[in-house]
Amino acid sequence: MATMDYSGRIPNNVNLDEDRTLQRALEHWQPHFLSWWRNMGPEGSTDLDVYLRTAVSVEPQGWAHFDYVKMPDYRWGIFLNAPEPGRQVNFGEHRGEAAWQEVPGEHRANLRRIIVTQGDTEPASVEQQRHLGATCPSLYDLRNLFQVNVEEGRHLWAMVYLLHKYFGRDGREEAEALLQRCSGDADNPRILGAFNERTPDWLSFFMFTYFTDRDGKFQLCALAESGFDPLARTTKFMLTEEAHHMFVGESGVSRIIQRCCQVMNELGTDDPARLRAAGVIDLPTIQRYLNFHFSVTIDLFGADESSNAATFYNAGLKGRFEETKRDDDHRLRGRNYPVLVGQDGRLVEHEVPMLNALNEVLRDDFIRDSISGIGRWNRVIEKAGLPFRLQAPHKGFNRRIGSLAGLRVSPEGRVVDQAEWARREHEWLPSAADLAFVGSLMGRVVEPGRFANWIAPPATGINRQPVDFRYVRFN
Amino acid sequence: MDSSETRLLRQHLIDPEICIRCNTCEETCPIGAISHDSRNYVVDPAICKSCLACVPPCPTGAIDNWRTVLRAQAWPVAEQLGWDTLPAGETVGLMIATQQAQPADDDAPPEPPALVPGATRAPASAAQPCVNLYSPRNPATATVMGNYRLTDATSDSDVRHVVLDFGATPFPVLEGQSVGILPPGVDEHGRPHHARQFSLASPRDGERPGYNNFALTVRRVTVDHAGQPAYGVCSNYVCDLKKGDTVQVIGPFGSSFLMPDDPRANLLMVCTGTGSAPMRAMTERRRRRRGDGASGRLVLFFGARSPEELPYFGPLQKLPKVFIEIHFAFSRLAGEPRRYVQDVIREQAAGIGALLEDPQTCIYVCGVRGMEAGVLEALALAARTRGLDWEVLQARLRQEGRLHLETW
């Protein structure tokens, strides 16, 4: 295992200084990245000192490094988990062969596509979140936003390293293109739909980090099983950073719920109008945001029947979530899996070959994981003694991708006609008025220890610091 | 008999309310001590070696929870899997906060303490505390060895020095920790009374060294914060205890308001009323260690309404000036302007500034909440006399576990 070189221009544990061509290529890309960060990264953040966690090694203790950093000086680098001796391809047709240290020629195009698609989401979310600093509810939250942003930046580095190292000129061109596409741009948008949506307010940000970064977790987990060993080791390391993003989302939404419940009890009301007048986000509005982010995110897993998914699996490029913990033949031939289709105005299950349904398998794993977190949000409401419960909408609700795309399905899973959908859409999804209301609450709070009225303080600070610690210093 | 070392376990637990079930800890643990079901992530006390590999990668801090328990009573994995919250204990800052006067019929749990600008960690050289050895389910039984009134008989403030002996039951404590007393009987709803917490007034080796005992400082509560009559069930129970009575005790509690073991450390102590208890414990600890080359300075600012209401007034005055520098502040002396501890700190600003500048100085503030802001302002003024930026200094003091505030 290469030791961490933290002294060069690009911190890394891949012996970058021994591969001068690659080093030069990445050093050439670095100023382009920094220029992208300055133009598209967090707005107005260049001179701030931010209390950030920087991974300084891939060992557990390497995560314990916290200090004030100016974000453009963040040590974005290339870190791969330690290699697992004797690792094999653990699924698909190549199962049992030694894991690949180079890209197999026949899978080159598919692997590049997988890496580019993953890589594209990283800068996209930074772009989506770039204005949020102006309306942060506290210094603590501002710091968490910036931590998410720099880690997305590092994830981009992780993918760009693979492109440069293993895909030659094509890879270098793809790496440049990752900095040129732009979230929400009409002419050159990001690859996946959810990454072109706006993140207009902090409730959206927390929902995004809860749901959409959880898609990231599941994708990374599936890639961490890859037979292409450098990809597996890269994504394994990324997962620890991704976990922080989901923490920001889960705790952020939880604190908004907690604050709402507190005011509901103080005022003795569940009337959204009164709660809104009191400056908190009512639970039905939170439910509508949840419905939106849940449905947009589950589209990210792709079509429910996909020959690409089968190819990726058969070829050993992308496994299932916790592939090696599953007790089956890891080839899946002859196995079926149920997917939902619309039939005569109803949703019915339809068995398809599991290999073709692997997107659906991953989506279902994601849904289970998401629902258990929603259960933890409900415990906050329960603890406040209130009867309301949040729910994940049905898998068919508001889908734009896959066989359910053309259908109108209610959050309970009932197929509805266009007229009912049009009539009730704003019961189910945030309306312009909801967005305007939540937007109206967004004001900047930057005194240490103070929190905006619509969100409760967190239970603990970062790195055992107190909650009123000066997590960001303005210079 | 087993030594208390082997009978005790510092059990590693994950807070289910904060954990987001991201699997990072399970992935990181080198010996497979962490597992999960669909509800919780848990640590197996039979496997965990407290190597701490899982702690830095955890994104939430949920992983960093520890409870000292009797080894035989460690929570098994099966029980942890059913939790929605961690068992009570070791909540930073709860230590003395519940010693406040609360009417007996207030059966709500104590309010969590407000965010305080003090440290949440102990000084670097502090000894490792034991916490939560005894809970309301399995309290320890102590015998009252003595109950002495500390305030003058003419004063309407009745503050007691109560000495409890634990016989053969291990009850290890450190200066600055507190314990809970369970008053007997039930409230008007037929439920057992809540425990009340009291700060220890004696050092770790006991009020009587070498015996398994300690002392508490307890004020009889007869009025609430607003001055309205209020009968404190627990404080009256404790103040009325007679020698030979037995008491149910839980705890110990508190893992940050602890004194440094480094004999070179300076202790700057600011207190009012029964806030003097931890100061007495620390002072006594240092007094007993004088032969060990303790070179750090002790400076005490002690406020009360009058000398008659000041617990430990007589014994304090007998301590040699070279050992401890004591500044009293009395706010109700006939014919005198009201003086509070912060006023006296301001008068001594230059000397205190020098003390603040010394990286060996630990600061302890304990007493009524009203003093906190004033004391911090006075410390800021003292810092400025040495050209120190108080905000920077305060952050460093907190970071290094050298500024502790307990007010109620």
Give CATH superfamily name and number for A16-473.
Ribonucleotide Reductase, subunit A (1.10.620.20)
Q: How high does pLDDT run on average in chain A?
A: 94
- Asked if residues A243 and B59 have their Cβ atoms less than 8 Å apart, the reply is yes
Q: Is the pLDDT of residue B102 over 50?
A: no
Bigger pLDDT: B137 vs A418 = A418
pLDDT of A301 over the 60 cut: yes
Q: The tokens of B102 are what? A: 């609360």
At which residue do the structure tokens 């830095």 appear? Answer: B56
Residue B396's φ and ψ, nearest 5 degrees, are: -70, -40
Q: What are φ and ψ of residue A365, in 5° steps?
A: -60, -40
Q: Rounded CA gap, A287 and A302, in Å?
A: 24
Q: Which of the pair, B408 or A336, is modelled with greater confidence?
A: A336
Instruction: Name the nearest CA neighbour of B375 among B342, B327, B350.
Output: B342
Across B258-273, average pLDDT? 92
Q: Is the dihedral of CA A260, A263, A268, A269 positive or negative?
A: negative
The pTM of the full predicted model, rounded to 2 decimals, is 0.67
Nearest to A162 by CA among A57, A55, A78: A78
Task: Note the maximum CA span of chain B.
Answer: 71
10 Å CB burial of residue A387 (0-12, 13-18, 19+) is exposed
- Chain position carrying tokens 């890891």: A330
Q: Kindly tell me if the per-residue pLDDT of B2 is higher than 80.
A: no
pLDDT average, residue stretch B218-240: 83
Query: What is the Cα–Cα distance from A224 to A230, expressed in whole angstroms?
Result: 9
So where are chain B's domains? 4-81, 266-407
Distance, in Å, from the CA atom of A295 to the CA atom of A405, rounded to the nearest integer, reads: 11
**C-beta of residue A382 within 8 angstroms of C-beta of residue B17:** no
Contact A451, A457 (CB under 8 A): yes
Q: Which of B349, B365, B353, B174 is CA-nearest to residue B269?
A: B365
Rounded Cα distance, A405 and A382, in Å: 35
- The verdict on A58 touching B (C-beta cutoff 8 Å) is no
Mean pLDDT of B268-292: 90
pLDDT (0 to 100) of residue B109? 31
Q: What is the pLDDT of residues A344-384, one digit of tens each?
A: 889 999 999 999 999 999 999 999 999 999 999 999 999 99
Per-residue pLDDT of B140-171, as tens digits, reads 999 999 999 988 888 888 889 999 999 999 99
**How far apart are alpha carbons B185 and A453 in whole angstroms?**
42
Task: Tell whether the model's pLDDT for residue A296 goes beyond 70.
Answer: yes
CB-based contact, A169 to chain B, within 8 Å: no
Q: Give the pLDDT mean for B102-124.
A: 51
State yes or no: pLDDT of B92 exceeds 50: no
User: Cβ A459–B23 below 8 Å, yes or no?
Assistant: no
CA distances, A454 to each of A257, A281, A292, B166, B365 (Å): 9, 6, 20, 49, 33
Position A61 scores a pLDDT of: 83
Give the pLDDT score at A203.
98
What is the rounded distance in angstroms from the CA atom of residue A301 to the CA atom of residue A457?
Answer: 34
Strand partners, B197: B180
- Residues A163, A112: contact at Cβ < 8 Å? yes
Q: Are B242 and B236 in contact (CB under 8 A)?
A: no
Q: Which of A62, A372, A466 lies at the smallest CB-CB distance from B115? A: A466
What pLDDT, on the 0 to 100 scale, is given for residue B68?
80
Best-predicted range by mean pLDDT (A46-60, B124-138, B302-316): A46-60
The token pair that represents A379 in the structure block = 């415990």
How large a percentage of chain B has pLDDT more than 70?
90
The answer, yes or no, to whether residue B390 has pLDDT greater than 80, is yes
Alpha-carbon distance values, B400 to A107, A448, B120, B404 (Å)? 54, 19, 9, 11
What per-residue string of b and e applies to B134-149 under the rule 16 or more CB within 10 Å gives b? bbeeebbebbbbbbee
How high is the pLDDT of residue B72?
Answer: 80
Whether residue A213 has pLDDT greater than 70: yes
CA of B74, closest CA in chain A: separation in Å?
25
pLDDT, average across residues A129-147: 97
Q: What is the pLDDT of residue B110?
A: 32
Domain ranges of chain A: 16-473
Q: Is the pLDDT of residue A473 over 90?
A: yes
Q: How far apart are CA A384 and CA B164, in angstroms?
A: 39
Q: Are strands B65-70 and B178-182 parallel, antiparallel or unpaired?
A: unpaired
What is the spatial distance between Cα B200 and Cα B142, in angstroms, rounded to a whole number?
Answer: 14
Arithmetic mean of pLDDT over chain B = 84
- Give chain A positions within 8 Å (CB) of B64: 464
Amino acid residing at A190: R
The C-alpha of A154 sits at a distance from chain B's nearest C-alpha, in angstroms, of: 16
Picking from B15, B371, B362, the residue whose alpha carbon sits closest to that of residue B175 is B362
Q: Which residue has the tokens 């979140």?
A: A129
DSSP per residue, A142-193: HHHHHHHHHHHHHHHHHHHHHHHHHSHHHHHHHHHHHHH--TT-SSS--SSG
Which two structure tokens, joined as six digits, stand for A432?
Answer: 């312009």
CATH code, residues B266-407: 3.40.50.80
Q: CB distance from A466 to chain B under 8 Å?
A: yes
Look up residue A367 and give its amino acid: I
What letter would DSSP give residue B156? S
- Rounded CA-CA distance A282/A265 in Å is 12
**Closest alpha carbon within chain A to B39:** A372
Q: Which residues of A424-440 are buried (b: 16+ CB within 10 A; e: fewer)?
A: eeeebbbeeebbebbee
Give me the count of residues in chain B. Answer: 408
The string of pLDDT tens digits covering residues A414-451 is: 999 999 999 999 999 999 999 999 999 999 999 999 99
Residue of A nearest to B118 (CA): A466
How many angstroms away from the CA of B343 is the closest CA of chain A?
27
Residues of B in contact with A373 (CB under 8 A): 20-21
**B219 pairs with which residues across the strands?**
B159
| CA atoms of A103 and A123, how far apart (whole Å) | 25
Better pLDDT: A438 or B6: A438
**Residues within 8 A of B (CB atoms), A 342-371 only:** 369
pLDDT band for A271, please (50, 70, 90 cuts).
very high
**Which residues in chain A have Cβ-Cβ distances shorter than 8 Å to B112?**
none
Q: Residue B57 and residue A457: Cβ atoms within 8 Å?
A: no
Q: How far apart are CA A45 and CA A50, in angstroms?
A: 9
Q: How does residue A147 score in pLDDT terms, banded at 50, 70 and 90?
A: very high
Question: B297-340, pLDDT tens digit by residue?
Answer: 999 999 988 888 888 877 888 888 888 999 999 888 888 888 89
What integer pLDDT is reported at residue B116 of this predicted model?
43
Contacts of B115 in chain A (CB under 8 A): 449, 457, 466-468
Sign of CA dihedral A310, A235, A174, A128: positive
Q: What pLDDT, on a 0 to 100 scale, did the predictor assign at position B225?
A: 63
Which letter does DSSP use for residue B212 in this model? S
Residue among B401, B9, B389, B3 nearest B176 (CA): B401
- The alpha-carbon radius of gyration of chain B (Å, integer) is 22
Name the burial class of residue B10, with classes exposed (0-12), middle (13-18) and buried (19+) by CB atoms within 10 angstroms of its CB: middle
The Cα A238–Cα A221 span in angstroms is 10
- Orientation of helix A139-166 relative to helix A108-128, angle to 10°: 160
Assess whether pLDDT exceeds 80 at residue A109: yes
The tally of CA atoms less than 13 A away on the side-chain side of residue B27 is 20
Q: CB of A217 within 8 Å of any CB in chain B?
A: yes
d(CA B74, CA A73): 46
CB-CB: which of B18, B57, B120 is closest to A459?
A: B18
Distances in whole angstroms, Cα of residue B65 to Cα of each of A245, B12, B109, B164: 22, 6, 21, 30
Could you tell me the CA-to-CA distances from B322 to A8, B203, B261, B269, B341 in Å, in that order?
A: 55, 21, 20, 16, 21
Name the region of B254 (left: φ>0; alpha: ψ -120 to 50; beta: rest): left
What is the CB neighbour count within 10 angstroms for residue B227?
Answer: 7
Q: Which residue of B has its CA nearest to A60?
A: B53
Question: What is the structure's pLDDT at B3?
Answer: 47
- Distance CA(A343)–CA(B401), nearest Å, equals 66
A137, pLDDT greater than 50: yes
User: Among 2.60.120.560, 3.40.50.620, 3.40.50.720, 3.30.70.20, what is the CATH number of B4-81?
Assistant: 3.30.70.20
- Give, for B197, the enclosing helix (H) or strand (E): strand B196-199
DSSP, collapsed to helix, strand or coil, labels residue B87 as: coil
Phi/psi at B239 (5° precision): -65, -25
Chain A with chain B: Cβ pairs closer than 8 A: 72
CA angle centred on A211, ends A113 and A402, rounded to 5°? 55
Of the given ranges (A25-34, A169-178, A220-229, B365-374), which has the lowest mean pLDDT?
B365-374
Reduced to 3 states, what is the DSSP secondary structure of residue A88? strand
User: Strands B34-36, B41-43: parallel, antiparallel or unpaired by DSSP?
Assistant: antiparallel
Strands (E), B71-177: 140-149, 159-165
B22, B53, B120 ranked by CB distance to A466: nearest: B120
**CA A204 to CA B8: how far, in whole Å?**
47
Q: What local confidence, expressed as pLDDT, does residue A398 receive?
A: 97
| Cα end-to-end distance, chain A, whole Å | 40
Phi, psi of B400 (to 5 degrees): -95, 10
- Residue B99 has a pLDDT of 30
* Nearest residue of chain B to residue A61 (CA atoms): B56
Instruction: For residue A427, give the 3-state DSSP assignment.
Output: helix
Q: What is the mean pLDDT of residues A189-207?
A: 94
First to last CA, chain B: 41
Instruction: Give which of A58, A60, A114 is closest to A313, Cα–Cα.
Output: A114
Instruction: Yes or no: say if A436 and A417 are a contact pair by the CB < 8 Å rule.
Output: no
- Per-residue pLDDT, B69: 80
Are A437 and A276 spatial neighbours (Cβ–Cβ below 8 Å)? yes
